[in-house]
């Protein structure tokens, strides 16, 4: 199975990359951009910054202590994407592996001397994922052998200890390697790494043990906490272990953590991680718009987690969050030309950021896509995710074919071939043409926002979802089913405990979150209040933009910003142009708001 996640149990089974082919469209274009531009862009910058040279022994070593992992993420992207650069990069990596399987360009002479911060197992995790991708997409080769040797070394070294790595990642990689090879010790190693965490397994750090989820056993936690990417990767590994070992309690614990995190610690965009300091989840309802960190990698990790839970349980709710995050975090980060990326994805930019050249410090603010970062996990993570994106679109429950995400594509499953046609997310109409037929069920996801959706086939139209809708027939070539998802834009209000955006509302349309953006002569967003009435729609270059009525409130500057009366919220009426959030910043440095104060 050519897929990044291939559980041996669970309600749904993945369809491989070989069974789902994206055609031009919202995601197909991005997948093509990835293959043609993004992967090469990443390779070029890593060469320039010396991160590849580290494997060749070039000195001084360059990059952060975890830079090896960036080459591995890119190898994974190349493997899924069938990129021709793989063999050369794989050979460079292979040459750096030591005889006993150890591989790390930073810590070789001080192996495992700093498990809290060293990232050695984290790097193995990405190496193993690259190896698994290669094994599935291509078959055994040098890269897969390097990955197995590293995994064997890891098991030899850590199976009987109580240690782990400060950055979870290797857990899910080991389960995947078990799935790909059948070697049970990889699963056992993963299981032990998941279970020993929080007993505690690591030394104290000044950020506190919750930062790397070593504050309590995984199955005892009730919500995701600490560093967002670490927390989400660990949860992915725990789901994988739970599914393969039949550990229902562990699965349930992660489901509960997901529920509480989504209910209280997730931005409207699906973005996770509220804090710049520690790149961490905040407390419940601590969801600032302006300082939302919402790291691109945390969004990707969240998609990975939701996808795993979807396969395990079949619940549409997981696909809902994955879709929200795909359209509003994953799609937001890369620029249309594939050569710059957002690291953080705030929901509010007060002033247009100043352009920055070269390698940008990943902590130094947000608001502009940069070509490369000192910590450049995000571009490589985007590359591997876009390269494996078809795997997220559909799945199977026996003969039944489930479609979770809508894009122009061809999907095959056991003699049934569907060609999906749609202009989603701009239009809500999705037509599935049967190209090759057999009897069976076709299950289509109906997003939670799509109240009033209908399914049309065989000459009848009926209500669909929310959740999913099933069409059953003896499918013949030429048959068609049509899903119509209502795409009227809607105003969304925050829970009153989300202090940061009290008195505000946001506009959504279909799976897209919209934002107001102020470039050049547009009204200054700090002084705009919106009237929550249905916005007008306007299509520009195939993109649906919205126009909302708003007021421009007089600044009323005062020497002290606290007064004895309610602040004004009304003023001269203006029109506020709203663009899909994933397109913000495309017109150059701008101020931006997802949450609009109400008049």
Q: Which of 275, 265, 280, 329 is nearest to 303 (CA)?
A: 329
Give whichever of 47 and 568 is closer to a copy of itself, judged by the CB atom: 568
CB of 106 to a copy of itself, least distance (A): 19
Q: Tokens for 125?
A: 């995790």
CB of 448 to a copy of itself, least distance (A): 8
CB of 557 to a copy of itself, least distance (A): 7
CB of 193 to a copy of itself, least distance (A): 26
CB of 419 to a copy of itself, least distance (A): 33
Q: Which of 456, 458, 590 is nearest to 519 (CA)?
A: 590
Give whichever of 358 and 542 is closer to a copy of itself, judged by the CB atom: 358
CB of 65 to a copy of itself, least distance (A): 16
Q: Which of 388, 409, 441 is nearest to 16 (CA)?
A: 388
Give whichever of 124 and 258 is closer to a copy of itself, judged by the CB atom: 258
Look at the alpha carbons of 506, 509, 515, 518 in this order and tell me if their dihedral is positive or negative.
Answer: negative
Give whichever of 151 and 268 is closer to a copy of itself, judged by the CB atom: 268
Separation in Å, CA 503 to CA 39, 169, 262, 284, 575: 43, 39, 21, 19, 20
Give whichever of 97 and 269 is closer to a copy of itself, judged by the CB atom: 269
Give whichever of 83 and 230 is closer to a copy of itself, judged by the CB atom: 230
CB of 367 to a copy of itself, least distance (A): 11
CB of 67 to a copy of itself, least distance (A): 16
> What does the alpha-carbon distance between residue 344 and residue 279 come to, in Å, rounded to a whole number?
10
For residue 162, the 8-state DSSP code is S
Q: Tokens for 416?
A: 């049934």
Separation in Å, CA 297 to CA 77, 228, 342, 383, 384: 15, 9, 10, 11, 11
CB of 257 to a copy of itself, least distance (A): 13
Q: Is 313 exposed, middle or buried (0-12, 13-18, 19+ CB in 10 A)?
A: middle
CB of 310 to a copy of itself, least distance (A): 15
Through-space distance between the first and last CA atoms of the chain, rounded to whole angstroms = 54
Residue 528, strand partner residues? 552
Strands (E), 257-349: 348-349
Give whichever of 243 and 280 is closer to a copy of itself, judged by the CB atom: 280
Q: Tokens for 24?
A: 């031009």
Give whichever of 64 and 419 is closer to a copy of itself, judged by the CB atom: 64
Q: Which residues bind a copy of itself (CB under 8 A)?
A: 206-208, 259, 262-264, 266, 268, 275-277, 282-291, 317, 348, 350-351, 361, 363-364, 374, 448, 490-504, 506, 526-527, 529, 553, 556-569, 597
For residue 497, the 8-state DSSP code is T
Residue environment code for 250-288, b if the CB has 16+ CB neighbours within 10 A, otherwise e: bbebbbebbebbbebbbbbbbbbbbbbebbbbbeebebb
Give whichever of 21 and 490 is closer to a copy of itself, judged by the CB atom: 490
> What does the alpha-carbon distance between residue 191 and residue 223 come to, in Å, rounded to a whole number?
20
CB of 561 to a copy of itself, least distance (A): 4
Q: Is 118 exposed, middle or buried (0-12, 13-18, 19+ CB in 10 A)?
A: buried
- 189 three-state secondary structure: helix
Length of the chain: 599
Give whichever of 542 and 561 is closer to a copy of itself, judged by the CB atom: 561
CB of 418 to a copy of itself, least distance (A): 30
Q: Which of 458, 418, 417, 416 is nearest to 438 (CA)?
A: 416
- 177 three-state secondary structure: helix
Give whichever of 60 and 567 is closer to a copy of itself, judged by the CB atom: 567
Q: Under the phi-then-psi rule, with left for phi > 0, alpha for psi from -120 to 50, and beta for the rest, what region is 534?
A: beta
Give whichever of 104 and 294 is closer to a copy of itself, judged by the CB atom: 294
Look at the alpha carbons of 373, 303, 77, 280 in this order and tell me if their dihedral is positive or negative.
Answer: positive
Give whichever of 112 and 285 is closer to a copy of itself, judged by the CB atom: 285
Contact status, residue 219 vs residue 257, Cβ threshold 8 Å: no
Q: Which of 272, 330, 265, 334 is nearest to 586 (CA)?
A: 334
Contact status, residue 450 vs residue 485, Cβ threshold 8 Å: yes
Give whichever of 495 and 573 is closer to a copy of itself, judged by the CB atom: 495
Residue 473, strand partner residues? 440
CB of 155 to a copy of itself, least distance (A): 35
> What does the alpha-carbon distance between residue 221 and residue 67 come to, in Å, rounded to a whole number?
30
Residue 436, strand partner residues? 417
CB of 284 to a copy of itself, least distance (A): 7
CB of 380 to a copy of itself, least distance (A): 21
Contact status, residue 177 vs residue 183, Cβ threshold 8 Å: yes
Give whichever of 474 and 564 is closer to a copy of itself, judged by the CB atom: 564
């Amino acid at each position: 199975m050519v897929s990044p996640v291939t559980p041996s149990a669970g309600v749904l089974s993945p369809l491989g990359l070989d069974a789902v082919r994206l055609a031009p469209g919202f995601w197909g274009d991005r997948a093509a951009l990835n293959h043609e531009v993004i992967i090469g862009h990443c390779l070029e910058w890593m060469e320039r910054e010396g991160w590849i040279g580290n494997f060749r022994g070039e000195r001084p070593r360059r990059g952060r202590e975890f830079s090896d992992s960036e080459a591995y993420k890119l190898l994974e992207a190349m493997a899924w994407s069938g990129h021709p650069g793989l063999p050369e990069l794989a050979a460079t990596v292979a040459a750096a592996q030591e005889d006993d399987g150890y591989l790390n360009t930073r810590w070789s002479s001080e192996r495992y001397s700093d498990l809290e911060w060293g990232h050695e197992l984290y790097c193995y995790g990405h190496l193993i994922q690259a190896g698994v991708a290669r094994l599935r997409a291509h078959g055994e080769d040098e890269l897969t052998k390097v990955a197995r040797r590293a995994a064997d070394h890891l098991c030899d070294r850590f199976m009987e200890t109580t240690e782990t790595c400060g950055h979870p990642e290797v857990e899910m990689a080991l389960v995947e390697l078990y799935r790909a090879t059948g070697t049970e010790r990889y699963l056992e190693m993963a299981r032990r790494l998941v279970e020993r965490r929080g007993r505690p397994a690591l030394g104290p750090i000044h950020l506190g043990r919750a930062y790397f989820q070593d504050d309590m056993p995984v199955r005892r936690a009730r919500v995701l906490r600490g560093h967002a990417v670490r927390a989400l990767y660990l949860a992915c590994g725990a789901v994988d272990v739970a599914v393969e070992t039949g550990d229902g309690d562990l699965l349930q614990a992660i489901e509960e953590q997901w529920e509480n995190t989504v209910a209280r610690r997730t931005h409207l965009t699906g973005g996770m991680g509220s804090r710049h300091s520690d790149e961490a989840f905040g407390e419940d309802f601590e969801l600032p718009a302006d300082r939302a960190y919402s790291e691109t990698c945390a969004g990707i990790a969240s998609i990975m987690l939701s996808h795993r839970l979807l396969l395990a349980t079949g619940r549409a709710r997981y696909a809902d969050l994955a879709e929200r995050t795909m359209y509003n975090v994953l799609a937001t980060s890369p620029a249309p030309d594939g050569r710059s990326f957002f690291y953080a994805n705030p929901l509010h930019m007060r002033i247009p950021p100043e352009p920055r050249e070269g390698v940008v410090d990943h902590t130094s603010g947000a608001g502009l896509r940069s070509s490369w970062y000192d910590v450049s996990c995000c571009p490589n993570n985007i590359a591997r995710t876009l390269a494996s994106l078809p795997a997220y679109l559909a799945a199977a429950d026996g003969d039944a074919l489930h479609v979770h995400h809508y894009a122009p594509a061809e999907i095959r499953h056991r003699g049934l071939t569907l060609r999906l046609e749609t202009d989603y997310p701009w239009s809500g109409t999705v037509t599935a043409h049967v190209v090759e037929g057999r009897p069976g069920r076709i299950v289509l996801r109906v997003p939670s926002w799509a109240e009033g959706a209908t399914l049309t086939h065989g000459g009848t139209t009926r209500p669909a979802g929310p959740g999913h809708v099933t069409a059953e027939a003896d499918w013949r070539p030429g048959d068609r089913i049509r899903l119509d998802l209502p795409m009227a834009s809607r105003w969304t209000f925050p829970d009153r405990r989300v202090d940061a955006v009290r008195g505000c509302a946001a506009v959504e349309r279909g799976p897209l979150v919209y934002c107001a953006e102020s470039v050049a002569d547009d009204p200054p967003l700090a002084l705009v209040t919106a009237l929550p009435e249905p916005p007008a729609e306007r299509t520009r270059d195939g993109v649906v933009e919205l126009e909302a009525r708003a007021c421009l409130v007089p600044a009323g500057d005062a020497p002290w910003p606290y007064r004895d009366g309610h602040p004004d919220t009304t003023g001269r009426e203006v029109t506020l142009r709203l663009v899909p959030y994933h397109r913000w910043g495309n017109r150059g440095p701008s101020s931006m708001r997802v949450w609009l104060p109400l008049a």
